[in-house]
Structure 1
Amino acid sequence: MLTNTDLNHRFAAQLIAIPHQSLNRAFVGPSDHFEQSIFVKVFASQAKWRAETSMTAQLTDWLLDADEQTLLLVRQDLPFSAIGEMTSELAFAMGRVFDGIKTPVQPSNRQDFSAGAEIGTWFADRQAEITAQLAAMPLVVRHGDVGRRNYVFLHGQLTLIDYERAQLGWVQQDWIKLFYQDFHSDADLIQAFTDGYGKISMMPQLSWYYCVYGTALGILAYVHKVPDPEFLAVGQRMLHDVNDYIQQSED
């Protein structure tokens, strides 16, 4: 495992570890090797290293170095600033920015949804219908972790960052966590975001709640590794909505 000392020696740098809840490790500081301040990320997963390296290289000019052997990514240390209060205008802008990643990028992998259809007996019994519905939906490049914390301003322009979970999928999958966690299911914010994104194909309710259920299970798996009561509550609210949908469907 690369240590802070290893990285400082490698890049002639004075790096400081950035504390955050993640299985990855991140560092920032000035580098004589690159003659600028750098951001260094050491990944715990090869798949996430590949996704973020590929997306960063294709969408930006920030990438300085990448090493698959050590799962290392180095980019410019940029003056990002956090977004402010969530408003309809900001949600619209977020939708416009998110729309920008779906066309020009070649993803590093393709998602296989068939295994996910086994996540619950109720959905498994409707696997053929879900498969048919999703087959009719257009596939796009998913960011994989769309949320308030990954939208930042750079030189006054709203920007989406952190592409380690990028993959092919259905655009609505990327909206679930954003709508539940950051928009708190606010109808006005959701409408503004989808207006900003532009024309989309509507996902049938069965497939939407199938995706919500899969997202909730992913959250539960994450908080089992990294305790986060607030994030756990988001996943539980998703499961509650899925249960309500199933009960209404059975009435």
Structure 2
Amino acid sequence: MKKQLDELLDTNLQQINHISENMHFKGFSKRLGERVFVKIFKDPLKYRLEYRVLRNKGNCLLIFPEYSALVLKYEDYTPLNKENVNAEDIIKIAELISDFHRENWLEIENEKEISLEKVLEKNVYRLADRKEYTEISELHSKFLKNISKLDEEYEKTLVLIHGDFGFRNIMRKADDVVLIDFERVKYASYYLDFIKYFYQDLDNDKFKKELFLKHYYEHSSEEVLSEELEYCMIFISALGILNYTKRVEDKEFEELGLKMLEDIGNYYI
């Protein structure tokens, strides 16, 4: 595949090490007369999702559907991490994701699930073989006691979310921050984008979370989430992590999902 892309782009692509399952390359394309970033997707569906987002943003230089490959202009981004992010950055990040949520220009009807009850049922059911299933079922039953009210609120919070929001997909460009990697976009509650970001990147720090949410709500048109729906979003995130770590061994990530379950249990005490 690399050989064919080298010929098509008139370049010699160099692979970039990346934690993703996808393959990433960079190089100078003589055909295009500029440096390029090439992303080859393992999953054709994720290729199509990312292409639809980037097409609307005008970021794609070329596409090669037969290889599930996108060719983008290479950008000199600086990664974000906990050590180099300050309060001003957190405010910029809040406004960045708010803008993404507000755009709402991409229709993915087959990905749109407006029933919170069905979302919970689907996510709980696929964990029936985990040892934590009894605890998961008990927590599920607590949310079901108030499901009508939660479902009504949930439907009002549905937007197109990034789906993998966090420092790994937020880059610094000069004095600004930008979002990358849109292969997991879907319709869901806007708050679902925040859970892993809060737990992993902000260490669930109360001051940082409140700073982020203050500026997110000021910049967006969203209503503040109720506390119970917030914990329901944490529950859904935890279920997603525990399902993922059934397939992929990642003890640290699994512990994060278990910590979320613990926090939900404490909420209901």
Does the 8 Å CA contact 2:90/2:211 hold for their aligned counterparts? yes
Please tell me whether residue 116 in structure 1 is matched to residue 119 in structure 2. yes
Which residue is 1:153 aligned to?
172
Q: Which has the higher mean CA deviation after the structures are superposed, 121-130 or 37-46?
A: 121-130
Q: Give distance in 1, aligned partners of 2:235 and 2:174.
A: 38
| Structure 1 position 180, deviation (Å) | 0.7
Q: Give the unaligned 5+ runs of structure 1.
A: none
1:198-237 matches, within 5 Å, as: 198-199=217-218, 200-237=222-259
Please tell me whether residue 11 in structure 1 is matched to residue 13 in structure 2. no
1:54-65 matches, within 5 Å, as: 54-59=52-57, 61-65=58-62
CA deviations on 1:123-171 (whole Å, 9 max, x unpaired) are 4555434322312x23222111110121111233211111111122221
Q: Which has the higher mean CA deviation after the structures are superposed, 216-225 or 31-40?
A: 216-225
- Percent identical pairs in the alignment equals 26
Q: Give the unaligned 5+ runs of structure 2.
A: 125-136
Which residue is 2:63 aligned to?
66
Q: Give distance in 1, aligned partners of 2:247 and 2:24.
A: 18
Stretches (4+) displaced over 6 A: none
Which residue is 2:133 aligned to?
none
Q: Give distance in 2, aligned partners of 1:46 and 1:75.
A: 17
CA deviations on 1:179-207 (whole Å, 9 max, x unpaired) are 01100110111111122223331222332
CA deviations on 1:85-138 (whole Å, 9 max, x unpaired) are 232222111101111212334224142154322124414555434322312x23
TM-score normalised per structure 1: 0.87
1:102-251 matches, within 5 Å, as: 102-109=101-108, 110-112=111-113, 114=115, 115-118=118-121, 119=124, 120=137, 121-122=140-141, 123-124=143-144, 126-135=146-155, 137-199=156-218, 200-246=222-268, 248=269
Q: Give distance in 2, aligned partners of 1:144 and 1:77.
A: 23
TM-score normalised per structure 2: 0.82
Does the 8 Å CA contact 2:62/2:70 hold for their aligned counterparts? yes
RMSD: 2.1
Which residue is 1:99 aligned to?
98
| Structure 1 position 235, deviation (Å) | 1.5
